[in-house]
Amino acid sequence: VAEEVTALVPLYGNKRENTLHADRLVAAASCLSATEMLQSGAVDELEEQLAKRCGRRYAVAVNSCTDALAITLRALGIGTGDEVLVSDYTFVASASAVARAGARPVFVDVEADGLMDLSRAEAACTSRTRALVIVDLLGAMHDPRDVEELARRHGLWVVEDAAQALGARYAGRPAGSVGEASCLSFDPTKHLSAPGSGGMLLTDDPDTAERARMLRYHGRDKAGLYAMVGYNSQMSTFSATMLLLKLDDLDRWQHTRMVVAQRYLDAFEGSIRVVSGSRDPALEHAWQKFVVASDERDKLAAYLADHGVQSRKLYSPALHAHPVFAGYIAADAALSRATRLAETCLSLPIHAFLDDDEVTRVIEAVLRGAPG
Ligand SMILES: Cc1ncc(COP(=O)(O)O)c(C=O)c1O
């Protein structure tokens, strides 16, 4: 393991984290002798802690952020005949959740930093538009007031896809606190990662929380009757126990990622375009990803691989170009910025388990491998 670790700068930190904190895996495993494997007290405790961290009243733990998004939309009553605005440049789940709820995803172009262009969102509103899925891409956030004002003007629900942004803040507002409901991911590539899949939805509305709790387990109500068609999307006691053990490290890990990001930002200035730059001073970025853009992205990726640096093309092609969404794309859809990002973006290693020398290796490889 040690040899592999020194040879390759890994894109994600989860393997190193699990090696360094193997004691946690052992400690959490003790919960496996308890009788409640699912939805136990550990899950309740995790819900409470994350609701508090994000400034929300209610939290509902589920099996993934993908499920959290679909359950949220259904809990808000979104379905057939409704349109939901969603960014064209994001992970597939932000949009497939809309289709799963029976509604139509309407793809909106993005700005240079990959966040949804809110003026385009406004222009795309019709009488059928019911909601906006706002993605905190790469760990950045919009100014929540801009999003909520847009929603108010058009009578839309806002669902915040905060899968990448736990720990980010905008003018003191935490990611996870924007709109009617927010969705978190604990997948192994995220900075609060479960031993498997995991997610959570957060809301201040008791009815939305109650419907979400029913939907997560087959639509069962408090009387034990199945009142609507739901899912089986529970969180395991083991996952919740592991996640609780990691909560104390979140702020320290975020600080480490910020230090790495600052080194990259300083080193790349004037040499290569950074997509995940801080949009304005009010934003505290979660730095879930550090993304650069290059016209010769594939060559750069190959150069990095040859020099022991893992990287990944990000969301390529843009969502509107995937077959699953073919039926939803308007002939006049203007999505050129998302298309361009999809053709040029490359995600570099950023996590709390990189050492200084590795960051230097990434910087040197990028500067040597970037054309021009
Ligand atoms: C922006 C975004 N939304 C949703 C998801 C889905 O999360 P999960 O893997 O927990 O279903 C991800 C995860 O990769 C994501 O990055």
What pLDDT shows up at residue 279?
Answer: 65
> What are the pLDDT digits (tens) for 53-74?
999 999 999 999 999 999 999 9
Give me the sheet containing 173-174, strands edge to edge.
Answer: 173-174, 169-170, 283-284
Within 10 angstroms of residue 66's Cβ, the number of other Cβ atoms is: 23
pLDDT tier for residue 4 given thresholds of 50, 70 and 90: very low
The mean pLDDT of 133-157, rounded to a whole number, is 97
What pLDDT shows up at residue 278?
Answer: 66
Q: What spacing in Å lies between the alpha carbon of 66 and ligand 1's midpoint? A: 6
Q: To the nearest whole number, what is the mean pLDDT of the chain?
A: 94
Look at ligand 1, atom 14, and give the residue with the nearest C-alpha. Answer: 91
SS3 label, residue 100: helix
Q: What spacing in Å lies between the alpha carbon of 206 and ligand 1's midpoint? A: 25
Query: Is the full-model pTM beyond 0.85?
Result: yes
pLDDT tier for residue 372 given thresholds of 50, 70 and 90: low
Strands 157-161 and 181-185: parallel
Q: Torsion angle of alpha carbons 47, 351, 274, 265, nearest 10°?
A: 120
> What are the pLDDT digits (tens) for 194-203?
999 999 999 9
What pLDDT shows up at residue 202?
Answer: 98
Is the pLDDT assigned to residue 249 strictly greater than 70?
A: yes
Q: With contact defined as beta carbons under 8 Å apart, do 309 and 362 qualify?
A: yes
CA distance 210 to 60: 9
pLDDT tier for residue 5 given thresholds of 50, 70 and 90: very low
pLDDT tier for residue 187 given thresholds of 50, 70 and 90: very high
∠ CA 35-223-213 to the nearest 5 degrees? 65
Q: What spacing in Å lies between the alpha carbon of 117 and ligand 1's midpoint? A: 20
Q: Point out the ligand 1 atom lying closest to the alpha carbon of residue 66.
A: 11
* C-alpha torsion sign, points 313, 319, 320, 321: positive
356-369 vs 250-268: helix crossing angle, rounded to 10? 30
Strand (E) or helix (H) holding 59 = strand 58-62
SS3 label, residue 1: coil
Is the pLDDT assigned to residue 205 strictly greater than 70?
A: yes
Is the pLDDT assigned to residue 232 strictly greater than 50?
A: yes
What pLDDT shows up at residue 6?
Answer: 54
Q: Report residue 255 CA to chain centroid gap.
A: 18
Q: With contact defined as beta carbons under 8 Å apart, do 308 and 262 qualify?
A: no
CA distance 237 to 22: 18
65-75 vs 206-216: helix crossing angle, rounded to 10? 120
pLDDT tier for residue 317 given thresholds of 50, 70 and 90: very high
CA distance 130 to 102: 13
State what percent of residues in the chain have pLDDT above 70.
Answer: 97
What pLDDT shows up at residue 1?
Answer: 42
Q: With contact defined as beta carbons under 8 Å apart, do 237 and 40 qualify?
A: yes
Using most ligand atoms within 8 A of CB, pick from 187, 231, 289 the residue to mutate for ligand 1: 187
Beta bridge mates, 348: 290
pLDDT tier for residue 233 given thresholds of 50, 70 and 90: very high
What pLDDT shows up at residue 126?
Answer: 96
In 3D space, the residue among 115, 85, 88 whose CA is nearest the CA of residue 98 turns out to be 85
Using most ligand atoms within 8 A of CB, pick from 14, 65, 71, 345 the residue to mutate for ligand 1: 65
The mean pLDDT of 317-342, rounded to a whole number, is 93
In 3D space, the residue among 128, 54, 127, 143 whose CA is nearest the CA of residue 98 turns out to be 128
Which DSSP letter does residue 288 get?
A: S
Q: What spacing in Å lies between the alpha carbon of 222 and ligand 1's midpoint? A: 30
The mean pLDDT of 292-301, rounded to a whole number, is 96
Of 23 and 251, the structure prediction assigns the larger pLDDT to 251
Q: What spacing in Å lies between the alpha carbon of 348 and ligand 1's midpoint? A: 18
Within 10 angstroms of residue 108's Cβ, the number of other Cβ atoms is: 25
What pLDDT shows up at residue 2?
Answer: 45
Is the pLDDT assigned to residue 133 strictly greater than 90?
A: yes
The mean pLDDT of 174-179, rounded to a whole number, is 98
Beta bridge mates, 232: 217
What pLDDT shows up at residue 3?
Answer: 45
Strands 83-87 and 129-135: parallel
CA distance 334 to 313: 22
What pLDDT shows up at residue 81?
Answer: 96
The mean pLDDT of 240-263, rounded to a whole number, is 95
Provide the terminal-to-terminal Cα distance of the chain, rounded to the nearest Å: 36
CA distance 143 to 154: 18
State what percent of residues in the chain have pLDDT above 90.
Answer: 87
Q: Point out the ligand 1 atom lying closest to the alpha carbon of residue 198.
A: 10
Is the pLDDT assigned to residue 281 strictly greater than 70?
A: yes
